[in-house]
Amino acid sequence: MQLYRNLQEITTPFERPIVTIGNFDGVHVGHQLLFHEVAIRAKRNGGTSVAITFDPHPLKVLRPGGIRLISTTRQKIDLIRMAGVDVLVILPFDQQFAKTTATDFVNTVLCDTIGVHELVVGYDYTFGRGREGNIDFLRHQGEQKGFPVTVVDAHYEDGMLVSSTRIRELVIEGRMLDVRNLLGRCYYIHGEVQRGKQRGGSEIGFPTANLKISEEDLCPKKGVYVTQVLYGGKMYGSVTNIGYNPTFGDNELVAETHIFDFNKDIYGQPIRLNLLRYVRGEKKFNSITELSAQIQKDVDTAKQVLADTTKERLLSCEEKFNAMAT
């Protein structure tokens, strides 16, 4: 995938570009359908599939503190690359860019720079100063300037509308199974392992890898989760507490993860933490012994959930194989 971080890097229009535009926070199932539609149309027309997005997210500029994002820009780039798009254009968004009218955006960005051949957008897409560029506006512009506009309908999973807003709500509620259905993958956080208070192994008996969480980021519901840790190209089962560790009176928001069958020193190393299922709320215990006993119960629960998940995947694969064989 070719990556452009501003319009100045694009010296000539692309070959018959089929374009989609959006913020694409989370790159959820609905976004993936958009990218699939763009890729198919580009292949059919011998053209280039192009996605246009913005950094930072426009609401980070227009309403500071008003939105907590599902994915970082780095995550978004990786996920769009995996979706099979040929070109990703990331436009820097600031107060000045926010003044761009919808007409100027179509003329300068879509037509003059990208050379749009066809446009594919979601059913609720709006853009431009004051969100004046809606679907009707785009269709009218397309008729005038010679590019067809395809609108992809709303998508539902298990009766729920797939949207970044809904996914943020589900993450905050700790509903990770629903989040997974709408994202098409596990919700995850990542970062470098921090050196903590060193209590997990020496005092409690369960050493942990700690990731600090910013209060400004999208934070899942406080409590204990069944998780998976991706480190060094391998996946490990784990259990994670997200919160403030009230038993010890800590005041720093952190994800403390006990990794099963793992004894490596990974301080300062990057890991990814997949959140599979919410187990229980965070609780203050009267003693370390009581806390340790509860963690053992959480570990047992997590191992059972992970084992059941593995069985479900194996059965699903077997059913698909049998269906293909018949």
Tell me which residues are annotated as active site.
Answer: 256
> What does the alpha-carbon distance between residue 192 and residue 177 come to, in Å, rounded to a whole number?
26
Helix (H), strand (E), coil (C) string for 246-315: HHHCCCCCEEEEEECCCCCCCCCCEEEEEEEEEEECCCCCCCHHHHHHHHHHHHHHHHHHHHHHHHHHHH
DSSP H or E run through 17: strand 17-21
> What does the alpha-carbon distance between residue 8 and residue 6 come to, in Å, rounded to a whole number?
6
- CA dist 255 → 237, 273, 294 (Å): 15, 9, 17
> What does the alpha-carbon distance between residue 83 and residue 29 come to, in Å, rounded to a whole number?
11
Q: What are the residues facing 80 on neighbouring strands?
A: none
255: nearest Cα among 267, 231, 273: 273
Phi-psi domain of 86 (left: phi exceeds 0; alpha: psi -120 through 50; beta: other): alpha
